[in-house]
Amino acid sequence: MATRNNHQIGIGKRIARLVAFSVFSAMVIVAVMLMLVQGRNAVLEKQKNIEAIGYVFAAALAEKIETQNTADIKQVLRSMARLPDIINVAALDRKNQTIATMGNAAILDTEVASSNSSVWQLLGKGFMPVSVDIIRGGTTVGRLVLFADISDIRNQLFWTLLTTLIASVLASALATLFSRPLQKKIVGPILKLTAAIQKARDARSFKHASVPGAEGETLVLVNTFNNMISDIHNRDQALRQLAYFDPLTGLANRVNFQKILETIMTENAQQATSSLAVFVFDIDNFHAINDALGHSIGDALLMNVAALLNEEAGEQERVARIGGDEFTIMVPGIATQQDAEVELARFIAALYQPIKILGNEVHLTASVGAVLLPRDGADFGVAQRNLDLALHAAKQRGPGRVYFYKPELTATIEIEAELEKGLRIALQEDGLEVHYQPIINLSSGRVEGFEALARWNHPEKGYISPGLFIPIAEKSGLISALGDWVLRTSCHAANTWIAAGEPERSVAVNISAAQMLHSGFLDKVRRALEESKLPAKLLCLELTESLFVGKSMNTVQKLLLELKNMGIKTSLDDFGTGYSSLSYLEHLPFDKLKIDRAFVKSLSNGKKNVDLLQGIIGLAHALGMSVVAEGAEKIEEIEILRSLNADAVQGYVFAKPCAALAAAARANEIDLAALNGSVKTVGGPGRT
């Protein structure tokens, strides 16, 4: 700021100084020139006058010099010396010897002979010698030297100089004064423009500078600046739009949402009374929809969702799109969860309207996480984390669910973090085991294979269910290493059985979607087979439908085909849960279909599921797949499954999963019982 002001003063001052200096020096130059001429003329004029006087007296002296009449000479000299301007007079003879002097003798002694000093030297001394020859009868008989006082000329010159200087100073002062309006005219607009530029820069206010009085180049400067400001303003708008708004839906984007939420929270914190509800909507199965209908329809759907939510929002309510299929809504002035639920219901109803796209009606659902602020987070970071946790909890509970944040969620996260740490260690220090559960062929009654199931033998907590640690492994990225270890261990166990003379039995290994889509997955499978020397046909990979969510059918098809080409079997696990769709089966070359335990359990509930399962088994067979039923716990279930033509059964009714050796022993028991014609059910070693 200080430097800016200095510059502002600088321009005006410099112009003033320039004007003053120019006028002053011009005046002084003219004055000195005039003085030089005047001084010289005055000296020459005086010289002539004195010479004239000299000639008159020289005539009078001529005779007296000849006669050497000193008294008379002195008489003449005395009357000369009395004349004004004459300081000293001297009469010299032919040989330049002084005959007589009158006046200041000291001057005479030194100056009589030399009279060739310049005018300026003379002025310096204050006197001037004028010499006139004394002539009698045509011959020079002597010389008369008069010393004229020229100090008056000097004084006059001094005063002239002094007054000129004073006049110059006055003139330059006047010039400065008169130049002021001009100065203002030039500098004023520049200063105004500078102020406008400064303001634009400091406050980012892009107003046009209004500079009255600007003309000529300054006007061009002002106009150029204004055009530039318009350009910057437009560009700024465009950048803002890009930075803060979602180009697809026009809604506020994540950054903007965070900014708005932070602002509202800070304001609320100051008022200490207001509170607000924030909802985050995540469209269920949006990836699958996108894959099935194409991205342009996906985009159109998102635009529709944005419009529906935005239309529902009141003036105070802000809708934002913070991710692919995630939308947030901020509803201020909400004090209780009941109030929040009422507001949320409006938005859910809006979203659940059928959306018409290209003649199709699409029905969407969303998982919704909700927080009440400041209750669920007094500071912004915590609020945002808890909102994420609430959404995550909602999604875990299945599509279309709403979850309001509860402090237990945070506790769960901490427990999960603890487990993740332990799992990492278990993976490194052999804390994991694989148990094997026999799979019984229903027509032969013999064990055709095992399912390999990971076990974590925790040093303090004992056995931890894979249902708990597998999702943690998936989330933390440990699943790839864990799955690879299970795969190698299982292949090794299966081949060890064969080497020990057991009948050929397959081993089915569960593969997570994350693990399978990890690059190098196929190589890892190949290596596991090579290292264990297990024939590929004895390895079965169990995959779940989660594998297809968000991926194109093509990718999955390719993977399955490659496994098939390697001679490996594949089975579709957990059929009957989630978004089971028979249409998958037509397109994907699975060898087996595993009917989920929940489905098997429901068989005893009523006829409906029995019919449904019959249809599914029929279809699977038609598509060339065999059907394995999972989780049979009762003999009746086996009877029903047999009557429905299921191919194999796996369940506690035959055997629980157990360690490799025990599993083989149990399998042999079952085989033996089958040979003896009796169905051998529970007993034997094992644990759940």
Contacting positions for ligand C2E (CB under 6 A): 437, 453-454, 465-467, 470, 483, 486, 510-512, 542, 573-574, 597, 630-633, 650-652, 657
The correct pick among 510, 512, 515, 681 for binding Ca ion (CB under 5 A) is 510
Cα–Cα distance between 328 and 278 in angstroms, integer? Answer: 7
Q: Three-class SS string for 568-584?
A: CEEEEEEECECCCCHHH
466 contacts which partner out of Ca ion, ligand C2E, none, CB within 5 to 8 A by kind?
ligand C2E
CB 91 within 8 A of CB 112: no
The helix or strand, by DSSP H or E, that contains position 297, with its residue range, turns out to be helix 295-312
Q: Please, which of residues 554-573 interact with Ca ion by CB under 5 A?
A: 573
If the CB atoms of residues 343 and 630 are measured against ligand C2E, the closer one turns out to be 630
Least distance in angstroms from the C-beta of 416 to Ca ion = 22
Residue 211 or 616 with smaller CB distance to ligand C2E: 616
* Sites for Ca ion among residues 526-545 (CB under 5 A): 542
Q: How far apart are CA 665 and CA 85, in angstroms?
A: 154
Contact 249, 306 (CB under 8 A): yes
Helix or strand or coil: residue 249? coil
With respect to Ca ion, which residue has the nearer C-beta, 329 or 447?
447
Using CB atoms within 10 Å of the CB of residue 544, give its burial: 0 to 12 exposed, 13 to 18 middle, 19+ buried: buried
Distance of closest approach, residue 203 Cβ to ligand C2E, in angstroms = 59
Is position 284 an interface residue for Ca ion (rule: CB under 5 A)?
A: no
- Which one-letter DSSP state was computed for residue 603? G
Question: Which is nearer to ligand C2E, 291 or 574 (by Cβ)?
Answer: 574
Cβ-based neighbours of 585, under 8 Å, separated by 6 or more: 572, 593, 619, 620, 623, 625
What six digits make up the tokens of 399?
Answer: 């599509």
* Comparison of 246 and 637: residue with beta carbon closer to Ca ion: 637
d(CA 121, CA 24): 28
Cβ closest to ligand C2E, residue 305 vs residue 511: 511
Smallest gap from residue 451 Cβ to ligand C2E (A): 6
Rounded to a whole number of angstroms, the minimum distance from the CB of residue 234 to Ca ion is: 60
x-or-dash string of contact with Ca ion, 455-494, rule CB under 5 A:
----------------------------------------
Mark 610-649 with x for binding to Ca ion (rule: CB under 5 A) and - for no binding.
--------------------x-------------------
Residue whose CB is less far from ligand C2E, 591 or 633: 633
Task: State which residue, 111 or 474, has the beta carbon closest to ligand C2E.
Answer: 474
319 with 328: CB under 8 angstroms? yes
CA atoms in the 13 A half-sphere facing the CB of 459? 8
Phi, psi of 405 (to 5 degrees): -55, 140
Stretch that binds Ca ion, among 165-173, 201-209, 284-292, 503-511 (CB under 5 A): 503-511
Residue 483 binds which of Ca ion, ligand C2E, none (CB < 5-8 A, kind-dependent): ligand C2E
Residues in the chain: 688
Question: Of 137 and 467, which has the nearer Cβ to ligand C2E?
Answer: 467
Report the candidate in 425, 524, 432, 435 with the shortest Cα–Cα distance to residue 476: 425
**664-665-668 Cα angle (round to 5):** 85
Q: How far is the CB of 532 from ligand C2E (least distance, A)?
A: 16
Minimum distance of ligand C2E from residue 470's CB (angstroms): 4
Alpha carbon distance 75, 80 (integer Å): 9
Residue 141: phi and psi, rounded to 5, are: -105, -10
CB of 447 to Ca ion, least distance (A): 16
574 binds Ca ion (CB under 5 A): yes
Q: Which residues bind Ca ion (CB under 5 A)?
A: 510, 542, 573-574, 630
